[in-house]
Amino acid sequence: MARPVTIKDEDLLRAAREVFLERGIQATTAEVAARAGVSEGTLFNRFKSKAELFRTAMSPEREDPPWIQKMLQSVGKGDLESTLVELGMDALAFFRLIVPLIMMSHTTPLPGASPAGLTHPIEPPLRAMKLVAGFFEAEMRAGRLRPADPFTVGRLFVAAIMNQALLEVVFKGQGLGLGPPDEFIRTMVHVLWEGIGPVPVKKSSKRG
């Protein structure tokens, strides 16, 4: 007789996150179970409904997005402008997945879910922005950026990237004249850098 599959809740939730990010809310519990390598019965022994599984898997308390983790780990390291471009591309890839999911969670309620059951953002803006602002503030304290309001700088950085993702996902860039995404990210970072980049140290001139 085969032994029952033993799996941790976090492994089930990780599989659920992957499936929901790939397929959106229309993903089935059967697909989640298959990804996790368990039966649907195992899922429903841990989570009462698909709505509960979705909310728990996509809960903001689970973990920070990889691009934010990478951002926090890069404080004070390497060429900052180049790092911002790299982080911008990583964030764009993340928002391309998250934007459709957030939209579907507001427009396509799950069966049995309360009206407010799926109204919470996947990554709460306040927590995300506090982490991003903390990154910019740390770089400012290190003298690698000019002093400014880190929360505003963080909002400008994230908002520009989210807007790019929104235009790509919702409008497919049709008629908007969108250039290559990497070119947009580089230009956006350069414009931001012009405002907050470190002030060049002027060399003192000696008069003879």
Domain boundaries, the chain: 9-57, 66-196
Identity of the amino acid at 90? D
Q: pLDDT tens across 110-148, in order? A: 555 443 444 444 446 678 889 999 999 999 999 999 999
Q: Which structure tokens are listed for 126?
A: 């306040």
Tell me: pLDDT of 194 over 70.
yes
What average pLDDT does this structure show over 163-175? 80
C-alpha torsion sign, points 166, 169, 175, 178: positive
The pLDDT tens digits for 139-149 are: 999 999 999 99
What CATH number belongs to 66-196? 1.10.357.10
Task: Evaluate if residue 158 carries a pLDDT over 90.
Answer: yes
pLDDT at residue number 100: 72
Residue 117's pLDDT is: 42
pLDDT in tens, 19-78: 887 777 778 999 999 999 999 999 999 998 888 888 788 765 556 788 999 999 999 999
- pLDDT value at residue 189: 96
CATH topology for 9-57 is Arc Repressor Mutant, subunit A (1.10.10)
CATH fold match for the domains 9-57 and 66-196? no
Residues sharing a CB contact under 8 Å with residue 99, sequence separation 6 or more, in sequence order? 162, 165, 166, 169, 170
pLDDT at 151 over 90: yes
Provide the residue count of the chain: 208
Mean of per-residue pLDDT scores for the chain: 82
